Amino acid sequence: MLDAFRAVRDSLVDAVRITPWWLATYSVLQLLLAILPGAQVVLIRHLIESSDLWRPLLGLTVVVGSMYPLTQVSNGVGQRMMLRLRLALRVELAGGAARLSPSRLAEPEVVRDLEASQTATHPMADVAGKSVQLLSAAATSVVLCVAISAINLLSGLLVLAALVPTVLAFTLISRMEATGWPRVAEHDRKAAYATEQLIQQRPGTELAVLGSGWKVAGLVANSRAAATRVLDRMIRTAVLYELGAALVTVLLFGGALVALVRGGAAGGAAAAAVAGTITGLNGIRQCGYAFGSIVTTAPQAAIYRRFCSRTQAEPAISAPTRRTAAGSACVQIRSGVPAAPRRAVVRRVDSVALDNVTYAYPGAGEPTLRGVCIEARRGELVALVGVNGAGKSTAINLLVGSLRPAGGRVLIDGTDAAEVSEEERLAHFGLLVQEFGRFEFTLRDAVALGAPGAVADREVRAALGGTFAADLPLDTQLGQQWGGTGISGGQWQRLALARIRLRDAGIWILDEPTSAIDAEAEQSIFSELRRTSAARITIVVSHRAWTLREMDRIYVVDEGRVVQQGTYQNLIAQPEGRFARLFAAQ
Ligand SMILES: Nc1ncnc2c1ncn2[C@@H]1O[C@H](COP(=O)(O)OP(=O)(O)OP(=O)(O)O)[C@@H](O)[C@H]1O
C-alpha cells in the first residue's frame, strides 16, 4: 500500500513538473464531473417538491446536458496529459539506459530492472490521471452521501459505505495481478524470443535447413500455454472477487433504499435519492478501477524509479549533440535526450598492464584468471592467444574495467586504474568485442557512434576508407527490415572496426576483429594496424597463426594463467610449448 501512495505522489509530482496546465485543466474538469451527480439529486428533489418548475428544470438541463461533453473533453485532456507523461518517462528511461557503464550492464539485476522499467512506462503514465479520477470518484460518493444524507442520514452513509467492498475487491485483484502479470510477461518473453528465432534471418535459416523449426514452435506453444493458464486463473479469481463485491454493494444500496422508505421519504425526496444511489454505483465502480490500476502499477513504478535514481548516480551528461550548420554528423536529437558525455577520448597512453591479476566469476568455484601479468606499451602490437574458455575475454574485461579484479592491479600509465572513475578509464579504450553491434541506423549514425561527441562527415568518411562503404552515401539506411541496404556479417564487422578507427583512443582492444572478414581484407586490416600502430597500444585476440607473425609480443593464456610469452618466432621455436601445439597445424 505504501508503494501505491509513493506511485501517486511521484507521478503527481511528475505531472506538475512536466505538464502542469494539462493536469490543472484535467483536475478542474474532474472536479466538475464529481459535483454534478450531487447537484442532480438536489435538483430532482426541487423539481418534484417545489412550486417553481422552471429554475430546477433549467438547472437539470444544464447539469445533465453538460455531463456528456464534459466527460468527452475531460477524457481528451486526460489522454493528452498521459501522452506527455509517457513521452517524458520513455525519454528519461532511454537517457538512463544510455548512461549505464559496462560494469553496470554486467549486473543482471540492472538489466532486469531496465527491461521491467520499459513495460512500466505505459501504466505509469496513467497513474497521475488515475489518481485524479480516484479523487473525483471518491468526491462523487462524498457529494452524493451529503446530498442523500439531507434526505435520510442512514441512506447517505450506506451509499458511502458501498465504496468499501469495491475498493477492497480491486485491491485484492490488484495484489493478485501484481504477482500474476510478471509470470505472464516472463512466459510471453520466452515465447517472443523463440518466435524471433524462427523468423530472424540467420537463426530462421539455420532452423529451416535443420528441419527442426517445429521443435522451436513447440517451445512457443508451451510458453503461450503457460501464460494462458496463469491468465485463466487470474480472470477466474478476479470474477469471483468482483461478484462478491457486487453482491455486498447491492445489499448496501438495497439497504439505502429500504432506509429511505422506512425513514418516511416519499415523492421528490425518494425519487432524488434513488437517482442518486444509481449514479453512485457508477462512481463507485470508477473508484475501484482507478484504485486497482494504481495498486497494480505501484510495484512496476517502484522498479522504474529505482532504475532511474541509480542511473542518475552515473556521471553527469552535458548538452545534447546536434547536427551543426557546418555539417557535423551525429544522431539528431529533437526531444531532450542527453547524448554527449563530458568525457573526451584519451588519445595518448604510454602503457597498460594487468599486474598479477586474479579473478573469479560470482558463484564460480575456481578463479577464471590466476596471477595474470600482461603488459603493452605505446607503439606495440600485443596478442592474447589460447583455446576457447582460456580466459582471454575475461582479461580484456578486467582491462577496460567492466570486471574488477579480486587480486592484483590494472595499471594505466603506471596508475592503479581502480583509483580513477570508470568513465575516465573507459575514455582510454577503443574496444571491439566479439559480439559487435549491428546498428541498423543510417551509415553516418552507425559509424558516428564510435565517438561520444559530434562527428564531422569527413571523419566518418575517413573511418570508412578502404571498406565496402567508402563510396556509399552517408544517409544510406542500413538493414533490410527498414527497407535499407542488406549488410553481410563481415561488412558489419568492418563498420564496427570503422567506429574504433574513428574513436582513435590511446588503447585499441580488438577481440577477434577479423573473425567474419575474408582473408584478403583481413590481410589489409592487419597490415594497416601494423602501419598505424606507432601512436597507440594495440591488443588483439586472435586464433589465426599468420596474424600473429607481426606481433611484438604474444601472451599464451591457458586455464587462466599466462603460460608463455614472446614473439611468434620465439614461441614457434619451442615445439613442446603450448603455443607451438596450438598453432603448429596452421
Ligand atoms: N559471465 C560469466 N559468468 C561465469 N563464468 C563465465 C562468464 N563469462 C565467462 N565465464 C567462464 O570463464 C572462462 C573464461 O571465459 P572467457 O570468455 O574469458 O574465455 P575466452 O578465452 O575469451 O574464450 P573464447 O576464445 O571462446 O572467446 C570460461 O570457462 C567461461 O565459461
Answer yes or no: do 395 and 515 share one domain.
yes
**pLDDT tens digits for 556-574?**
999 999 999 999 999 999 9
Atom number of ligand 1 nearest to Cα 391? 18
Check whether 329 has a pLDDT greater than 50.
no
Report whether residue 193 contacts ligand 1, using a CB cutoff of 6 Å: no
Q: Are residues 286 and 361 in the same domain?
A: no
Instruction: Copy the grid coordinates of residue 349.
Output: 597512453
Residue having the nearest C-alpha atom to atom 1 of ligand 1:
361
Residue at 164 is within a domain: yes
Cα distances (Å, whole numbers) of residue 340 to 264, 458, 576: 75, 20, 52
Ligand 1, residues 103, 394, 512: which to mutate, most atoms within 8 A of Cβ?
394
The pLDDT of residue 322 is 40
Say if residue 31 is in the same domain as residue 145.
yes
* Boundary (domain end) residue, out of 290, 312, 334: 312
In 3-state terms, the chain is what percent helix, strand and coil (to 5)? 65, 10, 25
The answer as to whether 529 is a domain residue is yes
Residue 390 in contact with ligand 1 by CB distance below 6 A: yes
Please report the pLDDT score of residue 317 as a whole number. 41
Choosing from 248, 283, 312, the residue where a domain stops is 312
Q: What is the pLDDT of residue 327?
A: 40
Residue 211's identity, in one-letter code, is: G
Q: Are residues 355 and 282 in the same domain?
A: no
Query: If you measure from the C-alpha of residue 559 to the centroid of ligand 1, how many angstroms do you get, rounded to a whole number?
Result: 10
Taking the CA of residue 106 as reference, the ligand 1 atom at the shortest distance is 1
Q: What is the pLDDT of residue 341?
A: 52
Q: CATH number of the domain at 244, please.
A: 1.20.1560.10
Length reported for the chain: 586
Which range in 272-276, 400-404, 506-510 is most confidently predicted, on average pLDDT?
Answer: 506-510
Q: Do residue 302 and residue 378 come from a single domain? A: no
For residues 291 and 419, state if they share a domain: no
Q: How far is the CA of 542 from the centre of ligand 1 (A)?
A: 15
Q: How does residue 525 score in pLDDT terms, banded at 50, 70 and 90?
A: confident
Residue 363 Cβ inside 6 Å of ligand 1? The answer reads no
Residue 389 Cα distances to 103, 379, 468, angstroms: 21, 29, 33
In-domain check, residue 333: no
Q: Look up residue 328 and give its three cell numbers.
A: 557535423
Question: For 39-48, 68-77, 161-170, 260-269, which range has the lowest pLDDT when averaged over its residues?
Answer: 260-269
**Of 51 and 379, the one with more pLDDT:** 379
pLDDT value, residue 23 = 96
Residue 58 is placed in which grid cell?
433549467
Same domain, 539 and 487: yes
Number of separate domains in the chain: 2
Q: b or e along 239-259 (b: 16 or more beta carbons within 10 Å of the residue's beta carbon)?
A: eebbeebeebbeebbebbbeb
299 and 422 both lie in a single domain: no
Q: Which residues pair with 508 in a beta bridge?
A: 430, 538
Split at pLDDT 50, 70, 90, the class of 376 is: very high
Q: Is the CB of 105 under 6 A from ligand 1?
A: no
Amino acid at 279: T
Residue 422 Cα to ligand 1 midpoint, Å, equals 22
Domain contains 546:
yes
Please give the residue range of the domain that contains residue 419. Answer: 351-583
Most confident listed range (46-55, 287-296, 300-309): 300-309
- Given a cut of 90, whether residue 354 has pLDDT beyond it is yes
Examine residue 212 and state whether it is found in any structural domain, yes or no.
no
Same domain, 108 and 179: yes
Ligand 1 centroid – CA 393 distance (Å): 7
Q: Are 516 and 331 in contact (CB under 8 A)?
A: no
Hey, what long-range contacts does 244-249 have (CB within 8 A, 24 or more apart)?
A: 244/165, 244/169, 245/165, 245/166, 245/168, 245/169, 245/170, 245/288, 248/165, 249/162, 249/165, 249/166, 249/281, 249/284
Q: Can you give the CATH number for the domain in which 359 is found?
A: 3.40.50.300
Q: How far is the CA of 388 from the centre of ligand 1 (A)?
A: 8
Our answer on whether the CB atom of 5 is closer than 6 Å to any ligand 1 atom is no
- Interaxial angle between packed helices 267-312 and 2-18, expressed in degrees from 0 to 180 and rounded to the nearest 10: 80
Q: What pLDDT was estimated at residue 512?
A: 86
Q: Are strands 369-377 and 328-329 parallel, antiparallel or unpaired?
A: unpaired
Under 8 Å between Cβ of 187 and 305: no
The mean predicted confidence, pLDDT, of the chain is 86
Nine-digit cell at 103?
Answer: 560494469
Give the residues across from 143 on adjacent strands. Answer: none
Maximum C-alpha span of the chain: 117
Compare 129 and 453 and report the one with higher pLDDT: 129
* 418 lies in the same domain as 483: yes
Model confidence at 342: pLDDT above 80:
no
Q: Answer yes or no: do 278 and 174 share one domain.
A: yes
How far is the CA of 375 from the CAs of 356, 507, 538, 558, in angstroms?
11, 12, 11, 17
- How far is ligand 1, taken at its centre, from the CA of residue 103, in Å? 16
> Are 290 and 404 contained in the same domain?
no
Ligand 1 atom with the smallest distance to the CA of 543 is: 25
Average pLDDT, integer, range 477-494: 86
Q: Is 157 inside a domain boundary?
A: yes
Q: Is 219 a member of any domain? A: no
Instruction: Say how many Å lie between the CA of residue 389 and the centre of ligand 1.
Output: 5
The protein residue with its alpha carbon nearest to ligand 1, atom 9, reads: 394
The answer to whether position 213 is within a domain reads: no
Q: From the CA of 472, how far away is ligand 1's center (Å)?
A: 38
